[in-house]
Structure 1
Amino acid sequence: MKNLKIAFLLSLVSAIGFIAAIPYLLAIGGDALAMVPIPLPVAMTIFVLQGTIMAFLFSWIGLTFATKVGMDAPVLRKWLYKTGGESFNKKGIIQAVIFGFAATGLLLLLEFAVFQPLLPILAEKAQNVEVSVWAGILTSIQGGVYEEVMVRLFMMTMIVWICSKLFGRNSSPKPWMYWTGIIGAALIFGLGHLPAANVYFGEITPLLFIRTLALNGVAGILFGYLYWKRGLEYAMIAHAIGDIILHGFIK
């Protein structure tokens, strides 16, 4: 019961994020969505409901195991339960903002300095996508909340917990266990984008495979570090900032 309020809140915000992301999804995936064998409103409703249920499960399970390995959503815990946890602090928010901009800078550097010169199709695809600024900004709610719940709170937490059970001998997790969770969750998240990349590009070449893992993984390392050291809320702030810049203002 000590985690249900937080899980419900995170799933509710995730639901808002899914709804807010619909204009962006329609803009970038219009051709693929046109092939869905059910009416689009029905498909979007299923998308929101399924995602909300998964957000609740990821939140509840993740929070249950996070406190066992020294991680949590401390700000939400203090807000909702009035016990334990901590309020936002200036130093943590500044670090989250810096990490958000740093992650964005790394992604842009990789994309424009490394991958676009090797993959001309990237520039061609980018020119064919028209997304409004507001649609891009709104999708940051889904990215900042749901993706952090799924990747950091659930995946990263479970990897750290498994490592602690296998190698910790009932002691507190070692730093290498947290880093295993950070990197492992980031890689899993990158692998999870391969089906969408395959639909978008029509194939997955070795270079596209590397790009998918790199672009979706490098930011995850920074966000995972924030989750470990500061708490889930700070990872969400950093992730949302990155999404606002990338999806809202970088075309």
Structure 2
Amino acid sequence: MKNLKIAVLLAVLSAIGFLAATPYLLTMIGDAIAMVPLPVPAVIALFVLQGGITAFLLAWAGLTLAGKVGLDAPILRNWLYKTGGASFTGPGIVQAVIFGLIGTLLIYLLERQIFQPLLPILAEKAQDLNTPVWAGVLTAIQGGVYEEVMVRLFMMTLVVWILSKLFERKSAPQAWMYWAGIITAAFLFGLGHLPAASVYFGEITPLLFVRTIALNGVAGILFGYLYWKRGLEYAMVAHAIGDILLHGFLS
């Protein structure tokens, strides 16, 4: 039961994040949602409920494995269980902010300097969007919490745990195992965006495939490093900053 409170909290925050992200989502793929044979409020309710349940299961599994490979959400654990004594620190927050800004800059430059010149449809789609800044900012809850639970706490932890079982029977995981987890999780996160990209663009060409993987994976390297070295909470902060900037002010 040592992970129950954390898993429940992350699930609740994820559900709130899914609800907060619906205005932005309706702007992006509202036409596809309208084709579902259910009222839009019902679709949103199912979307939020599924997100909360999934977050709970992923968080519980991730926290269980994390304790075996030296990973954790130490600040939440201290807040909820009064163990470990971890809390946010000035240097940690500064690093998370810097990593969030660097990740945002990398994604922005890749999109504007590399992919948009090669894919004119990107500029056309960007002009068609009229997403309010506030709607983009609200995506930070879903991105910062749920996506970090799914990608870092669960996926990355699972890869590290598997590698530790395969190559290190007794000692702690080696650094290369964490890097393998970081990179694999970032790549899988990019793959997970392909269905939405297919709906948004109508198809997935080889170049759109590369773009989807690159834009959704590059910042994940930084977030994964924060999770490894400082804890899940710092990865959440960095991810949330990136979403606020990318979806709220730079989209």
What TM-score do you get using the length of structure 1 for normalisation?
0.99
1:99-248 to 2 correspondence within 5 Å?
99-248=99-248
CA contact (8 A) 2:59 2:149 kept: yes
Q: What is the distance in 2 between the residues matched to 1:215 and 1:56?
A: 27
Shift of 1:169: 2.1
CA contact (8 A) 2:140 2:243 kept: yes
| 2:67 partner SS | helix
- Report the AA paired with residue 77 of structure 1: R
- Report the AA paired with residue 89 of structure 2: N
- Report the AA paired with residue 226 of structure 2: L
- CA distances 1:120-156 after superposition (whole Å, capped 9, x unpaired): 0000001111110111101110000000000000000
- CA distances 1:68-112 after superposition (whole Å, capped 9, x unpaired): 100100000000001115011111000000000000000001000
- Report the AA paired with residue 181 of structure 1: G
- Report the AA paired with residue 110 of structure 1: L
- Segments of structure 1 that go 5 or more residues without pairing to the other structure are none
1:56-75 to 2 correspondence within 5 Å?
56-75=56-75
Shift of 1:168: 1.1
Q: Which sits farther off after the overlay, 25-34 or 230-239?
A: 25-34
Does 2:93 align with 1:93?
Answer: yes
- Report the AA paired with residue 63 of structure 2: L
Q: What is the distance in 2 between the residues matched to 1:16 and 1:80?
A: 19
| 2:36 partner SS | coil
CA contact (8 A) 1:74 1:231 kept: yes
Q: What is the distance in 1 between the residues matched to 2:212 and 2:27?
A: 20
- Report the AA paired with residue 41 of structure 2: P
Shift of 1:8: 0.5
- Segments of structure 2 that go 5 or more residues without pairing to the other structure are none
Q: What is the distance in 2 between the residues matched to 1:122 and 1:83?
A: 48
- CA distances 1:191-224 after superposition (whole Å, capped 9, x unpaired): 0111111111111111000000000000100000
- CA distances 1:222-249 after superposition (whole Å, capped 9, x unpaired): 0000000000000000000000000110
Q: What is the distance in 2 between the residues matched to 1:74 and 1:27?
A: 36
CA contact (8 A) 2:164 2:173 kept: yes
CA contact (8 A) 1:28 1:130 kept: no
| 1:29 partner SS | helix
| 1:2 partner SS | coil
Q: What is the distance in 2 between the residues matched to 1:227 and 1:233?
A: 7
Q: What is the distance in 1 between the residues matched to 2:185 and 2:208?
A: 20
Does 2:48 align with 1:48?
Answer: yes
- CA distances 1:151-186 after superposition (whole Å, capped 9, x unpaired): 000000000000000011221000000000000000
Q: What is the distance in 1 between the residues matched to 2:103 and 2:88?
A: 21
Q: What is the distance in 2 between the residues matched to 1:190 and 1:168?
A: 29
Q: What is the distance in 2 between the residues matched to 1:111 and 1:218?
A: 12
Q: Please, what is the CA RMSD of the aligned residues?
A: 0.7
CA contact (8 A) 2:29 2:199 kept: no
CA contact (8 A) 1:136 1:247 kept: yes
CA contact (8 A) 2:78 2:84 kept: yes
- CA distances 1:1-43 after superposition (whole Å, capped 9, x unpaired): 0000000110011111111111111111111111112111111
Give the percent of matched residue pairs that are identical in Structure 1 and Structure 2: 73
What TM-score do you get using the length of structure 2 for normalisation?
0.99
Q: What is the distance in 2 between the residues matched to 1:30 and 1:169?
A: 49
